Amino acid sequence: MKRINQMEPWVGEEEKRELIACIDSGWITEAERTYKFEKMVADFVGSRYGLAANNGTVSLTIALMALGIGRDDEVIIPDMTMVATPNAVLLAGATPILVDIKRDNLCLDLEEVMKKISKKTKAIMPVAMNARPPDMDGIERISREYNLFIVEDSAQALGSYYKGKHLGTFGEIGSFSFSTPKIITTGQGGVVVTDSKRLRDKMYRIKDFGRIDRKTQKHDTIGWNFKFSDIQAAVGIAQMKKLEKRIKWKRKMYRIYQEELRDVEEIKMLPTDLTQTTPWFVDIFVDNPKMLKEYLNSKQIGTREFYPAIHSLKPYRGRGGFPVSTWASKHGLWLPSSLFLTKRDIKRVCKEIKNFFKKKK
């Protein structure tokens, strides 16, 4: 029987054609194709500027650096996220402050945020966990009241909105990832978006050795090499052209799972507004995800357990106080979510899930 993996990238003939054209052009380092890809992403989300970096961890770091956030500064982030979020804060030299999440969207709990704001807090970095939106109205209110920057970690949220506005466009800077499991991929890659020319230029210098632009050898600030390449951009351009279709299918896939699993009382799925959210992965919550994972694996179906809560990881180990992120990490399971899954594939997965729970009774 064909194995269904939890996630696989989807690249094909269009990407091959773009890559060949890029190689034939004789120019593979960051240039015109990168600018085109950046513009495609910025236009799609509705931002003035987009800037590509080598991955979504670095793009978050560049955003913090451009805002002058570093030593002695604190950045508020959710305790349930991919470890890249706190790592990026540390890479910028600042301290991530962990905050528990809400059960209905797995995003920052704003009451808990209020308890963690200190004199050192400079920014809030909300994460759209699995592309569901955080309470952006509330986050904007807090940012105004306490004079905090908003840097959105929208790594998983291309194609997702809050009240009709694309995620990643609320704060000073938003960041997207294009690693292989994302809705579109460039192999590795990240893009920051902003409406500020000043921040765009600052981020450009940070990623390009401190140069004002690539035509000069003037380095009047310190910068590094966090650049992209036209090879990645070639893949990204082909992928962007398929984005609308992919959004539609991702949403439909989630709906099929919802319908198929609706009557399985052992499974909880989160409320998800599919007019706004394009779930990145299909997430379910069960008593014992490990057992279900093993069973599905024996049926040639791959799944992935949720991220560990950040506070439980060795480098971030702290005291407790994160009941919801602890719950999510203990009970969450990601089901097969590759874009090329067919309705039949999804039905097969759901049938096996039902078999698992029938056997347990």
Query: Contact positions toward ligand PLP, by CB under 6 A?
Result: 55-57, 81-82, 84-85, 127, 153, 155-156, 177, 179, 190
CB nearer ligand PLP, residue 84 or residue 101 = 84
The distance of closest approach from Cβ of residue 179 to ligand PLP in the complex, given in angstroms and rounded to an integer, is 4
Is residue 152 classed as helix, strand or coil in its secondary structure?
strand
CB nearer ligand PLP, residue 129 or residue 296 = 129
Q: Output the residue with the shortest Cβ distance to ligand PLP.
A: 56
Is residue 123 classed as helix, strand or coil in its secondary structure?
strand
Q: Which helix (H) or strand (E) holds 112?
A: helix 110-116
The distance of closest approach from Cβ of residue 83 to ligand PLP in the complex, given in angstroms and rounded to an integer, is 8
The distance of closest approach from Cβ of residue 48 to ligand PLP in the complex, given in angstroms and rounded to an integer, is 23
Question: In angstroms, rounded to a whole number, what is the distance separating the alpha carbons of residues 194 and 190?
Answer: 14
CB nearer ligand PLP, residue 154 or residue 276 = 154
For residue 174 the two structure tokens come to 């938003």
The distance of closest approach from Cβ of residue 177 to ligand PLP in the complex, given in angstroms and rounded to an integer, is 3
Question: In angstroms, rounded to a whole number, what is the distance separating the alpha carbons of residues 229 and 243?
Answer: 21
Report the 3 state secondary structure along 156-221. CCCCCEECCEECCCCCCEEEEECCCCCCCCCCCCEEEEECCHHHHHHHHHHHECCECCCCCCCECC
CB nearer ligand PLP, residue 37 or residue 295 = 37
The distance of closest approach from Cβ of residue 214 to ligand PLP in the complex, given in angstroms and rounded to an integer, is 23
CB nearer ligand PLP, residue 127 or residue 333 = 127
Cβ(333)–Cβ(306) below 8 Å: yes
Cβ(121)–Cβ(148) below 8 Å: yes
Cβ(126)–Cβ(136) below 8 Å: yes
CB nearer ligand PLP, residue 304 or residue 348 = 304
The distance of closest approach from Cβ of residue 342 to ligand PLP in the complex, given in angstroms and rounded to an integer, is 25
CB nearer ligand PLP, residue 190 or residue 236 = 190
Question: In angstroms, rounded to a whole number, what is the distance separating the alpha carbons of residues 3 and 17?
Answer: 29
